[in-house]
Structure 1
């Protein structure tokens, strides 16, 4: 019996495909470490650029400054203005009052006041006061937030802002639609804000948004009853076919009294028409 027993010898394991790949990768890393490092870096940079563009640049592409060329000034318009917020920092209003755009005096200034249902621009009160004291037609805009209800935002704006006769109508700056709201519900929210504020001042508020957003989400006929302030950069003329009152045509304007860049706007009409648009002067 003992003689018939076979001696057991363990078989050598064959290298698996996975093991071979690991060995090949290790060999590649050891032979060409610099090339592998550069390739990996390039891939990571491409992924970063794609993610940055997709989630930060694309949604608000109209606000990203052009990196080439000079600022273009629309021809045929005489009434120029700017819009400001805390981003412009402390403004020298004496210098700003005496400035001009393409030879035309500065006539109006739109000022950020509030955002959502709890945030006030920390330079609003100062900017709002200085604008009137320096003889500029002023307006106040509320930046729409998808995190607060339309009613809360409207009443917060009315609590923080006291518009007077001679001021431009209140402005709603809306640039984003919540993903969990359909277009009809979103439009109803916007109209809620507009109606509440209109009941207070008895004038139609101005709607600010960019061209593609208006076409996509605010294209219902009811919104055509409101003065439209369009943001459309780096074009020779407004492509929007409907009626518009203001055009924010660049975000790289520069004026004495303001450090850095500021948005430039034009009014689609005469100075008399601009004054007729203000609170207390509408027929």
Structure 2
């Protein structure tokens, strides 16, 4: 048995070697201009593929990592969003931070996730943001594992917004695989309605623009302010109305070690103040 397998293997290897030699011989018989032309075409294809798949989609990220990023033009109201991933923040340094020669105006802070997790730095960040003069907001990260009403009630039990704070934010980026889009939308609306009943303001919906178009395009969501995530582009591609744009996740600011998400507000500082609770 071993001998037969060995013989078969030798024959297969011999056939492959024969085909390989035949191919090389055929290529050598081609005119030189055809060989060079083929090499140029193949090289050009690989260069194009590398640029299309690895460079173009992340051009803004590359600029941000290896040079000064190109911040969105025409916006003056800048902000950040933070969580425990930013570690301990030096708020005295952050207070004087400038983005594109404009002061930092607002800070969005991760508060809760699901129905039982609070960000370990939320209370500290939430307190310090107001102490250092920023307009602050708090967001809840949507979980696909917990009913919406439980998540909303947990958020309300942990987060106590005041006048001058931004409306509560729902960060929704995932849809369960085992429910319909209609049922998913009903769950999201449940969270929004429960929280709205508490604060009497429309919560802000954070999501990325393709998710919005795919799963939240129902007109029942049209009255809510949107915070759209779309990185490494010169302008947000979402065509609907939006209030905030998270344009990069590789921002650098004094007082924060490592990267931080940068955002802009689509309006004036007066408009931003009007958006706040009691504004």
TM category, shorter: 0.7 to 0.9
1:191 counterpart SS class: helix
CA displacement, residues 184-213 of structure 1 (integer Å, 9 cap, x when unaligned) = 000000000000000000000000000100
Q: Which moved more, 1:247-256 or 1:233-242?
A: 233-242
- For residues 111-156 of structure 1, the C-alpha deviation after alignment (integer angstroms, 9 at most, x for no partner) is 0000000000000000000000000000000000001000000000
In 2, Cα distance between equivalents of 1:250 and 1:135: 23
For 2:210, which of 201, 209, 212 is the aligned residue? 212
Identify the residue that residue 247 of structure 2 maps to in structure 1. 249
Structure 1: gaps of 5 or more residues:
1-12, 28-61
Q: Is the 8 Å Cα contact of residues 80 and 260 (structure 2) preserved in structure 1?
A: yes
Q: Distance in 2 between matches of 1:182 and 1:21?
A: 54
Q: TM-score, normalised by structure 2?
A: 0.79
Aligned residues: 233
* Structure 2 unmatched runs, 5+: 15-56
The residue that corresponds to 2:62 in the other structure is 68
After TM superposition, the structure 1 = structure 2 runs for residues 158-173 of structure 1, keeping only pairs within 5 Å, are: 158-173=156-171
Aligned to 1:94: 92
Runs of 4+ in 1 over 6 A off after TM superposition: 22-27
Cα shift at 1:72: 2.4
Determine the structure 1 residue equivalent to 2:41: none
Q: Residues of 2 paired with 1:268 and 1:236: CA distance?
A: 15
User: Which protein has the bigger helix share?
Assistant: 2
Match of 1:151 in 2: 149
CA distance in 2, matches of 1:269, 1:133: 24
Question: Contact between 2:166 and 2:275, CA under 8 Å: does it hold in 1?
Answer: yes
Pairing of 1:111-150 with structure 2 (within 5 A):
111-150=109-148
1:199 pairs with 2:193: no
Deviation at 1:224, TM superposition (A): 1.1
Task: Give how far 1:20 is off.
Answer: 4.8
CA contact (8 A) 1:72 1:234 kept: no
Whole-Å Cα distance in 1 between the matches of residues 74 and 162 of structure 2? 30
Match of 1:110 in 2: 108
User: Would you say 1:177 and 2:171 are equivalent positions?
Assistant: no
Deviation of residue 240 (structure 1)?
A: 1.1
